[in-house]
Structure 1
Amino acid sequence: MSTNTDRHPVIIDTDADIDDLWAIQYLINVPTVDIVAITTVGSGFSTPIYSTSNILSFLGLLNCTDRIPVASGESLSSLSSGYQVASTILTGIDTYLTSPNCLNQSVDIFLQPSPFEAIELIIFILKYSQKPVDILALGPLTNIAAAIIRDRSIVPKIGTLYLSGGQFKSLSAYSSLTPNPSLGVYPYMSKTTDSSENIFLDVLAAQRVDDSGIKNLVAMPSDVQNQLPANLTQIDVMLKKLNIILTPFVYKLITSLAKCGNQSESDIFWWDNSAAQLMVQIQNNVSNGFCTQMEQVKSLYILSADADQLFGQGINDSGQNGAHIKGLSNYKICTETNSDVFLLEFLSKIQSNQLYSCKKSYENRFDIKLQRCLRNHGLG
């Protein structure tokens, strides 16, 4: 697979939540990023039938129809904790683009996903890429873990895996590491306190990815994402300051989540969008980016069936407290942020509408050329 030598090839693996759409719109307009595929996972914050459909519809609304391969992936977690996202939340996410009570957009119902499913496409892209490919994980790690299990030779071809979410809590910060059944036992009908949604929905997949040997692991931890509120007043002030006028669709896209989801504005943060911007900052060695402080940590997630309220918790400790723990993975994490710098970068890019990752024609997409090649050899 040929890639533009001046741009960073990226696979986005997403559960198609609304903040994922913000991240995708941002990255499409970053000149140094080449989105080579978007793969969807149906075990997170969208129902399986909507996850791929909404990404295709969203790309169509951005005038990026058929330019980026979108492949459907796994619908079930590697290991279910029993926790499921509430159906009321899923309905709001699934219908965000089209509901008359939300964005009220008409979409093209004839858009088609890639002829390859997500795990296949991840493997093929990594195997045939002429240089390492970064992966941005915006949902549970189910697809990525499955791809690695199916073909471990792809691991050296992963440049950096960027994770949205994750919990990196020092052992010393836990008041107790003794399982307490009164605080939660399997099956978990709700997420254990402080654990990360994208991890908790498939903890086993996270462990498999962490231990796979990927050379570079980077995370935008959940608690740090909460330093970046999606504040409407701040957005409007920044738009006025920069003299930026967004299209009505784009403005509603980034400002309607609280209203459409019947949530308080104070509950909305930039979440997965911040992981996308962290990736761009690191890829380009930006010294004055929104992430103002990073840290190297060693971490793992608790998977024991007897862990009770500690199940799915993420710990990190490179000191004496963690000396007896094996299987720790090395992560670089963002620990401090500047929300004004974040918003300036985000709004500037989405306003530009350059659509850098939408330049390939349908016929020149990697997956379509590969399908054609397989057919020519009697394999498709």
Structure 2
Amino acid sequence: MEKVIIDCDAGMDDSIALILAAKSKELDILGITTVSGNLHVDETTRNTLVSLELINRPDIPVYKGQAKPLIRELPSDPFSHGDDGLGNNHHPAPTLVQQQQHAVDFIIDTVKANPGEVTLLTLAPLTNIALAFIKAPEIIPQIKKVVAIAGSFGTNRASFENATGDNPQSEWNVYVDPDAAKVVFESGVKFQAVGLDVATHFDVNFDESDIVDLENSAQPEAKHMAKMMRFVLGRDYQSYCVLIDSMAVAAVIDPSLIKTLTARVAVETQGQVTLGQTVADFRHSHTWHHLPEIEVSVEADYKKFMNMVKERVMA
């Protein structure tokens, strides 16, 4: 089993990613940390607890993290996750409660207790991770890998047409806290970016029959997922919006699912129209070798991914 800490900003797609992870025997979830991103950290923590309660997993501890990005103020997400942040499912308030320890300290302590064994699976702005690296840089070489929903690298049309940041060239998680992304990218940690190129690919969409199957399932989490898909479809978005973060979870469950290339990547932290853009240098010549080198996800087995999500959520 792969030991993971999941860092999230639980809106709709985080919720399904958490459910997928918790129902996958390949993963040993040591804890879930929360941060502001899609919503304020108070709401993302609540939605994380709601998601775990929905699948009866009180054994997975939840740790609340940072309320705002490292430097800038928390931006308002132009994409609504509904009144409750979960596509207007309006579940009862959770009876589960968060742990007392701060998320950043939990990350530090857990990595130190499991050197070389922990994968950080990040579905949110990288604020908590950057602060852990700043506070305890000695943990960086002790981390097995970071697999993150982060960036947009221009390898296909989806990376541009489905941009999720609040400008034409960015992905939401990096856009929210580009300074944190820069800290993590440049830290030297082994880093796989699962960007919009694969996470919002045009082949990542459930059709009507899939949604009906979810609605007819006996599993409450399947109905929860279907209602969120109806919510986004009703606002002229596509169902992939509920699946984005699950792509990173699937990449850890089955690394063969995604093809990657190495690239040197810069994070734009100053631009007025490109804030949060991840600029990948794929060149063979004149490469900017001073930029950090990371793994960039460029292709995925989308059918296999979608089958995995559907089957496990309905199981």
**TM-score (structure 1 length as normaliser):** 0.73
Residue 364 of structure 1: aligned partner: none
Pairing 1:33-72 to 2, within 5 Å after superposition: 33-42=27-36, 44-65=37-58, 67-72=59-64
Show CA shifts across 1:160-198 (max 9, x none): 10011312248xxxxxxxxxxxxxxxxxxx722121110
Cα deviation for residue 130 of structure 1 reads 5.0
2:153 matched to 1:160? no
Deviation at 1:135, TM superposition (A): 0.4
Change (3 A) 1:229 1:264: farther
Q: 1:62-104 CA distances to partner (integer Å, 9 max, x unpaired)?
A: 1112x11100000110122774224x825x163537xxxx334
Q: Which residues in structure 2 correspond to 1:132-151 (within 5 Å)? A: 132-151=117-136
Which is greater in Rg?
1
Is the Cα contact below 8 Å between 1:299 and 1:316 reproduced in 2? Answer: yes
Q: Select 1:74's aligned residue among 66, 72, 76.
A: 66
Which fold has the larger relative contact order, with Cα–Cα distance below 8 Å and residues 6 or more apart in sequence? 1
**1:185 aligned partner:** none
- Residue 76 of structure 2: aligned partner: 84
Q: Alignment partner of 1:191: what SS?
A: coil
For structure 1, the 5+ residue unaligned runs are 1-6, 171-189, 353-380
How is 1:130-279 mapped onto 2 (pairs within 5 angstroms)? 131-169=116-154, 191-214=166-189, 216-227=190-201, 228-233=203-208, 235-236=210-211, 246-260=217-231, 262-266=234-238, 268-269=240-241, 270-279=243-252
Question: How many aligned residue pairs are there?
Answer: 303
After the TM superposition, which residues 338-349 of structure 1 pair with which residues of structure 2 at under 5 Å, given as runs? 338-349=301-312
2-structure distance, mates of 1:71, 1:155: 20
> Do 1:39 and 1:70's aligned partners in 2 also have CA atoms closer than 8 Å?
yes
* Aligned sequence identity (%): 23
Residue pair 2:204, 2:306 contacting (<8 A) in 1 also: no
Once residues 234 and 163 of structure 1 are traced to their aligned partners in structure 2, the CA distance between those partners, rounded to angstroms, is: 30
Aligned to 1:134, what secondary structure does the other structure show? strand
Q: Distance in 1 between matches of 2:34 and 2:137?
A: 21
Distance in 1 of aligned mates of 2:123 and 2:220: 23
Does the Cα contact within 8 Å between 1:141 and 1:199 map onto a contact in 2? yes
Cα 1:320–1:342 shift into 2, 3 Å:
closer
The amino acid that maps onto 2:169 is D
3-state SS of 2:251 partner: helix
Report the Cα distance in structure 1 between the residues aligned to 2:292 and 2:16, rounded to whole angstroms.
29
Q: Which residue, 24, 28, 33 being the options, matches 1:30?
A: 24
The 1:112/1:82 distance shift into structure 2, 3 A limit, reads: closer
Aligned to 1:334: 297
> Contact conserved, 2:70 with 2:180, CA < 8 A, in 1?
yes
SS, match of residue 89 in structure 1: coil
1:308 is aligned with what amino acid? Q
Q: Is the 8 A contact 1:96 1:260 kept in 2?
A: no
Distance 1:322 1:119, change over 3 A: farther
Listed one character per residue, the Cα deviations across residues 254-277 of structure 1 (whole Å, up to 9, x for unaligned) are 222244355225364321111111
Q: Is the counterpart of residue 103 in structure 1 residue 98 in structure 2?
A: no
The structural deviation recorded for 1:280 is 1.6
Note the aligned Cα RMSD (angstroms): 2.6
* Partner Cα distance (2:144, 2:261) in 1: 19
Query: Aligned residue for 1:127?
Result: 112
In the TM superposition, what is the alpha-carbon distance from 1:152 to its structure 2 partner?
Answer: 0.6
- The amino acid of 1:301's aligned partner reads V
| Stretches of structure 2 lacking an aligned partner (at least 5 in a row) | 156-164
Q: Which secondary structure does the structure 2 equivalent of 1:257 belong to?
A: helix
Q: Supply the distance in 1 between the matched residues of 2:305 and 2:65 (Cα, whole angstroms).
A: 31
CA contact (8 A) 2:68 2:74 kept: no
Q: Is the 8 A contact 1:229 1:266 kept in 2?
A: no
Task: Tell me how far apart the structure 1 counterparts of residues 64 and 134 of structure 2 sit (CA, whole Å).
Answer: 18
Identify the residue that residue 266 of structure 2 maps to in structure 1: 300
CA distance in 1, matches of 2:103, 2:128: 7
1:199 positional shift:
0.2
Deviations 1:320-349 (A, max 9, x none): 6753x4642222222123332111111222
Give SS of 1:271's match. Answer: coil
